[in-house]
Amino acid sequence: MDFNVRKLATDAGIFFSRAVQFTEEKLGQAEKTELDAHFENLLSRADCTKNWTEKIYRQTEVVLQPNPGARIEEFLYEKLDRKVPPRPTNGEILGQFMLEAAKEFGSGTPYGSTLIKVGDCQRRLGGAEREFLQTSSISFLIPLRNFLEGDWRTISRERKLLENRRLDLDACKARVKKAKAAETKAAAVPDFQETRPRNYVLSASASATHYSDMLLSNCSVFLRSVRDVILPMIQISIWKFISKTE
């Protein structure tokens, strides 16, 4: 019981992974592994062959047996592996009616003798029609049905298996890609943490340097002011004092 539960959980996980991958591919959010061009051409030809073979098979059944009720009856007999009971053709039935009518009218009468000749020909035509139907079924319908029920089912099963394997592969690729991105991000975090203190120091140093440059600039402006304004004033005051003392 435990094994079955685990298997069920595993199958559910695989199905969910495939569904997610398929949906993301349809939305253009995931990469899809492309098949070989020659193989894609073979798949396209197989689809075309299946579609036209199915149409030809169905229409041939209608031509050989126009009565839908008779077709359903034959289908049920085939599914039950039972032999279809022999059924006379319409031509054979008509010929039999003519021969029976000829017996009633008498072979010596013109109508009776004519019915005998026409009825015999009609019965032989009906027999040829039945032989044609049997030959067509054996030589034409059965090979088409064998392809649809045999070869095409095998192709469809293998094709579905290939598609599932491709979805599994692309899902694994997506997980690996996400894991690599996460590893790269995780590897970048220590580098960022390591360089952040240096950035703080450099920022503080740059701020101090800028403050020092601004202070020196202000000092230079002050000294130029002293040189250009205050010193001349002092010189003038000295000259005035000297002039008074003389």
pLDDT digits (tens, 9 = 90+) for 74-129: 777 777 777 777 788 888 999 999 999 999 998 889 999 999 999 999 999 999 99
Instruction: Provide the phi-psi class of 54: left if phi over 0, else alpha when psi is between -120 and 50, else beta.
Output: alpha
pTM: 0.60
As to burial, measured by CB atoms within 10 angstroms (0-12 exposed, 13-18 middle, 19+ buried), residue 29 is: exposed
The beta strands (E) that lie in 159-227 are given as none
Architecture of domain 31-245: Up-down Bundle (1.20)
pLDDT digits (tens, 9 = 90+) for 21-74: 778 777 777 777 788 889 889 999 999 999 999 999 999 989 888 878 877 877
Q: What is the mean pLDDT of residues 190-214?
A: 53
- Mean of per-residue pLDDT scores for the chain: 77
